[in-house]
Copies of this chain bind each other. A is one copy, B any other.
Amino acid sequence: MQSSVDLASSVESAVGLHRVREPAGVLPQAAWRLDPDPRIGPDEVRVAVERLNLDAASFRQLRDAHRDDGDAIRAEVLRIITERGKMHNPVTGSGGMLIGTVDEVGPCSPLGLAPGDRIATLVSLTLTPLAVTDGLADWDGRSEQVPCRGHAILFARSVAAKLPDDLDPRLALAVLDVCGAPALTARVVSQHLRRDPDRPPTVAVIGGAGKSGSLSLAAARRSGAARTVGVVPTTVERDRLAAAGLADAVALADARDTVALARAVTTALGAPADITVVCVDVPGCEHGAVLATADGGTVIFFSMSTSFTAAALGAEGLAADVTMLIGNGYVPGHADYALQLVRDDPALRSLLAARLSAD
């Protein structure tokens, strides 16, 4: 009994329950409002914020809702942070991550950080207490990357990565933001290989030219995929991904068009994919992903636009025996793995850098 009580009370402090203002008793991510008080507890860390990186689904929603009006988007983000004590888009339920410099470290923090460390948070902004002091004055409201002055709080069970010296910080931040995707893709490819060593799996990545998509393609190949296809929605992305050479094939399809998506993957691989990785931030891709996947295969949903019921009922309705994974942003070693992929592959690095410049 003792151990479980210890577990519960240490969990309560480690996950930041004391920062929850309303409703009481829920974890910070589920809370409507957090307390961003700059005074830290013994196991907390305070970070001086430099830049927020909004989740793609969140930024898209804000842009759509405010018709690309940068001033209105900035005002809305500022309003959310002020009201909620965190950057947690109430419509999409998603957040993003941040970059900053460690300011103060509590004596009991287990994160291994020291004042002056430049870090990126690898836990979502939806559970990170945050206060902004500059009114986001340096942001034009037209990019996911938000220059920002203020502070954020890390808990004992937060995850943060020190920024590498050898990569552009903006590139590193973009990679770290989605580093769970390549790590989980690599794990699932390895699991399929262990189960059937004589038949390496084929892998389809929907949204293969995006950040998480291109990293997932690189991870699938490195982990031993037999053949990979990246599916993209435009000829520009098709040409860009083909030029980078990250996938064995590149196919053009609107991922929301169920039959078109299944046909594109099946044509490129000669059969449905053993593993399908969904990295596009638009709703309605669940059925196409299921239909593009072979019986006994696996679909990994990384898009925050994924509908749980659409996936569950879609697979059932298609009598599809596929394993469907909710993409977990945390896999041990994910940050180092993703950064190493970028270091090792100049084409991947160029693709990601080009995306950053275009943003």
Chain A interface residues (CB < 8 Å from chain B): 1, 3-5, 7-8, 11-12, 15, 17, 25-30, 92-95, 122-124, 126-127, 157-159, 180, 257-259, 262-263, 266-267, 270-272, 284, 287, 291, 301, 304, 306-332
Contacts and interface: CB of A to CB of B under 8 A. Distances in A.
B317 A27 contact: yes
Given A127-B313, A262-B11, A328 B323 contact: yes
A7 B29 CA distance: 43
Contacts of A314: 27, 29-30
Given A17-B259, A157-B318, A266-B8, A310 B29 contact: yes
Contact of A308 (B3, B304, B330): B304
A138 B334 CA distance: 57
Contact of A291 (B11, B126, B312): B11
B8 A259 contact: yes
B329 A313 contact: yes
Contact of A30 (B17, B272, B287, B326): B287
Given A30-B287, A93-B310, A309-B93, A328 B320 contact: yes
Nearest to A180: B316
Contacts of A325: 323-326
Contacts of A329: 312-313, 315-316
Contacts of A324: 325-326, 328
Contact of A263 (B4, B28, B266, B323): B4
Contacts of A93: 307, 309-310, 313
Contacts of A332: 321
